[in-house]
Structure 1
Amino acid sequence: MLRSAALVVLSFAFAPVAISAPLAINCTGNWAKTIESLEPQPEGPATLSAIRCLPLPQSGYPVSLSPDGSKIFSFHSIEGLWIGGLNRSDANHTFPGRVLSSVFSDKTVPFEWLADSSEVIGVKRNSNRGGFALGPLQPYLFTNDGRQTRLPALSHPNGPLDEIFWIGGSGLAFATFGTKGAYYKPEHEDLNPTISLVDAKVGQILEDVETAAISGLPSYKNLTGISSRVDKSGRARVLTAWLPNTWLLWDQGESPRILPIHNKTARASYTLSMDGTKVLIMGNLSATGLICEFHNPCPTPTPQSGMIAELRDVSSGRLVWSIMGTAKQFSNSDLPAISPDDQYALITMPGDHEDIGLVSMTDGSVLQRFRMPGWGSLTLGFSSDSKQAWITGGATMAIFNIGPQK
């Protein structure tokens, strides 16, 4: 899974560019206007350090940076998994094979860096030419030099392993069994959809529960989001969102329970705070109107006002703060990122145009903004020491230094 805080000391990888004038690394052409548009305004904690062009074989797909900041992977459900370094001379390898991303987000991918940056943990699946599954997901480890290691199979009497969402870079995961029968050839009926916490490295199901046994929980088909953290004792906390307006919390060692969170945003993008006590929810605020493909000129979008982002207490659902605004263009919220010290967040912000904002997690104040680049599918993140932040999109990465709040 792409994780906003799975990075360690990016300054090791980017130390040569941590100077006053931002640089374009491994990029050709004139990047002056892009650099200018990415400089956060007004003056504040974040300053642009560098832009780095990445050696991806295909751009436009979500990119995940390794915890030590030295490698990246990119995944597409048809093209497969690519793992490589930040420079074209670094070792890289493509692992072809079809694996569906989550049905609710193409950025929630079934791959994650291990905490030591040595390998990517993920899955493979036998599929037909149309992409339909011929068998369950099978966990694997992958490296940028082409090695792949098959892990023990995860099996359950209620059905095949159908989805997996990694937690914390150790092999721990939230997994589902018997939930995607319509995506198989031949199709099969899912009689007892089951959610579980698993240790994929050893092939062990740690805890499981049939969704029908959770009072008030909608059909599994209504699952629209997931975020997770691992506490200091190594226990997982998983927050899932289900339509309509149902939020389920599962703390490892306890029974899953529905929370009094009231947020009706359809397919909300959200992220748990690092301590797992708060959840940052995006509002998917967008202008409305016709989107024209063949008519010119297209009618001007109708602005819409409302919630851009809000922070809620997980257990009580209490609103801590919210950011309101007006979207004048068509937009969609990207997955937000929270710094490991729980001091800052990076969020996408609609307005006259789309921006990215650096937000205080204390009170929701927008400290700085910069123009969202048109690089393709964006991901946002922070280093584990909270001293740097990054965005990736297409085959480009922007790195920001985070200093004391001014």
Structure 2
Amino acid sequence: MVSPDGRLVMYLQGGGDYSAERKVLNVSRLDARDSWSSYALNMGPLWQFGQAEHSVPAYGWASDSSGIWTGTRENIDSGGTTSSGLQPVLISLQDGSIRNFAPPRHKAGPLDGLMWADGDGLALAYFGARGQSYQPQRHDRHPTFAMIDAKRGVVLDTLPFDVFERLKDAYYIANVNNAAVTRLHDGRMRAVLSALDQWVTWTQGEPPRILPSPYPDREEANNKMSISPDGSRLLVARLRCDEGYDETEKHSSRSRFWPPCKPVETVIAALFDADTGHRVWEVRGTVRRLDFYPNPAISHDGRYALIGLPPDGSNPLLGLISMDDGRILQRFHSPGPGSLNSMGFLEGDSGVWVHSEGVTSLYDLHTGVQ
């Protein structure tokens, strides 16, 4: 992830495993060599919010790029478990200090999930939802989503898991696929939560809106999503083999990767009205093989978005699209040969950044010059 001012980059070291060991957050200036700083993230499996592969991680830039919001747990063991929940922290990149904030309290259980909504300490959260990540295991019976202010240590609003009809059954957290959250112009938060065959649009201080998911199949659980800054629209990205794989190559011992997809045109991204679930537009393409792709990114003014496109060669392909109608305005390859890790827009929408396995590139948004 590149800082809002475009001067710094951070990436997570330690693998993408959900039940992962300790992870390390590495930070460096983009205009200087050998300027790396490293910070241990003692979060265990709480390092990401949803259960979707490569869901949004529990760290994010401060709004002025001076630090990083994240969380920590006390006395974490090699398996990632501990008796404590998360404690919000702010890492200062000016002097390397770490400021700990008292975690908000809720009767549902300890704080055990974070997704930062802005760069000033507002976050979407879980309480009492991840009992298996504790030692000894917890059995909190009424887990809840929450909106919190980490700076003040307060809970601003809550939403019980039972708002999702099918989350009343066992394995609560395992069925929360993904989420997206933003801070509205009036200072409140708005989130969209995806679980099983439902979406929930939740605005701070208002009743939730329950919507049927347009992608209810379990195979759609790893779809990526991003909410527009004004909270009105939800962008969903999906690269799937909708007609299955080419079975003639599926069991080839020479192939290290998934076999090719049956080449049919399908929806690779779609924009939805966050209040009604109505589909505004869709982007179609032919997916010939699967590859990892990150969450889509929406510009601060809501006019543009970045999505992963079906690869046309060895390097992953990206698209700059119009949020008005889904037109692909520009296609370009990721900067490195490996998987595309993350992408986003710089402060003021002056440019876009792309990070791919150790290589970070910045592009001018209007001219496409690297």
* Shorter-normalised TM range: 0.7 to 0.9
Is the CA contact 1:194–1:210 (under 8 Å) kept in the aligned structure 2?
Answer: yes
Shift of 1:95: 2.7
Counterparts of 2:255 and 2:72, CA distance in 1: 46
1:150 equivalent to 2:100? Answer: yes
Shift of 1:154: 2.1
Residue number in structure 2 paired with 1:225: 178
Is the CA contact 1:329–1:352 (under 8 Å) kept in the aligned structure 2?
Answer: no
* Partner AA of 1:94 in structure 2: Y
Is the CA contact 1:247–1:258 (under 8 Å) kept in the aligned structure 2?
Answer: yes
Counterparts of 2:198 and 2:293, CA distance in 1: 20
Is the CA contact 2:89–2:98 (under 8 Å) kept in the aligned structure 1?
Answer: yes
* Partner AA of 1:115 in structure 2: S
Residue number in structure 2 paired with 1:295: 253
Residue number in structure 2 paired with 1:313: 273
CA offsets, 1:85-111, max 9 Å, x none? 222354623335343222334351111
Is the CA contact 2:321–2:330 (under 8 Å) kept in the aligned structure 1?
Answer: yes
Is the CA contact 2:52–2:221 (under 8 Å) kept in the aligned structure 1?
Answer: no
1:280 equivalent to 2:230? Answer: no
Counterparts of 1:189 and 1:224, CA distance in 2: 21
Shift of 1:261: 4.8
The counterpart of 1:328, out of the listed 278, 284, 288, is: 288
The counterpart of 2:358, out of the listed 368, 375, 395, is: 395
CA offsets, 1:67-102, max 9 Å, x none? 222222222453322233222354623335343222
1:250 equivalent to 2:205? Answer: no
Is the CA contact 1:325–1:351 (under 8 Å) kept in the aligned structure 2?
Answer: no
1:216 equivalent to 2:165? Answer: yes
* Partner AA of 2:112 in structure 1: D
Q: Superposition pairs for residues 345-360 of structure 1, below 5 Å?
A: 345-350=305-310, 352-353=312-313, 354-360=316-322
* Structure 1 pair 80–332 and aligned structure 2 pair: CA distance change class (3 A): closer
- Number of residues paired by the alignment? 340
Unaligned runs of 5+ in 1: 1-63
- Per the alignment, in what secondary structure is the counterpart of residue 347 of structure 2? coil
The counterpart of 1:85, out of the listed 19, 29, 41, is: 29
1:122 equivalent to 2:70? Answer: yes
* Structure 1 pair 318–301 and aligned structure 2 pair: CA distance change class (3 A): closer
CA offsets, 1:357-383, max 9 Å, x none? 111111111122123442445211112
Identity %: 29
Counterparts of 1:277 and 1:96, CA distance in 2: 33
Residue number in structure 2 paired with 1:382: 345
- Per the alignment, in what secondary structure is the counterpart of residue 132 of structure 2? helix
The counterpart of 2:324, out of the listed 350, 359, 362, is: 362
| TM-score normalised by structure 2 residue count | 0.84
Is the CA contact 1:375–1:395 (under 8 Å) kept in the aligned structure 2?
Answer: no
Counterparts of 1:400 and 1:182, CA distance in 2: 43
1:72 equivalent to 2:33? Answer: no
Counterparts of 1:81 and 1:333, CA distance in 2: 20
- Per the alignment, in what secondary structure is the counterpart of residue 115 of structure 1? coil
Residue number in structure 1 paired with 2:148: 198
Shift of 1:220: 3.8
* Partner AA of 1:162 in structure 2: D
Residue number in structure 1 paired with 2:80: 131
Unaligned runs of 5+ in 2: 14-19
Counterparts of 2:142 and 2:276, CA distance in 1: 30
- Per the alignment, in what secondary structure is the counterpart of residue 65 of structure 1? coil
Counterparts of 2:184 and 2:226, CA distance in 1: 15
Shift of 1:403: 1.9
Shift of 1:300: 5.1
Counterparts of 2:293 and 2:357, CA distance in 1: 17
Larger RCO, structures 1/2 (Cα 8 Å, 6+ apart): 1
Residue number in structure 1 paired with 2:89: 140
| TM-score normalised by structure 1 residue count | 0.77
* Structure 1 pair 133–304 and aligned structure 2 pair: CA distance change class (3 A): farther
The counterpart of 2:39, out of the listed 76, 89, 94, is: 94
Residue number in structure 2 paired with 1:43: none
Counterparts of 1:189 and 1:304, CA distance in 2: 46
Is the CA contact 2:6–2:347 (under 8 Å) kept in the aligned structure 1?
Answer: no
Counterparts of 1:81 and 1:215, CA distance in 2: 34
Counterparts of 1:332 and 1:377, CA distance in 2: 7
The counterpart of 1:235, out of the listed 181, 188, 195, is: 188
Counterparts of 2:223 and 2:67, CA distance in 1: 30
Give the RMSD, CA atoms, in angstroms: 2.5
Is the CA contact 1:123–1:140 (under 8 Å) kept in the aligned structure 2?
Answer: yes
Counterparts of 1:300 and 1:250, CA distance in 2: 39
Q: Superposition pairs for residues 178-197 of structure 1, below 5 Å?
A: 178-197=128-147
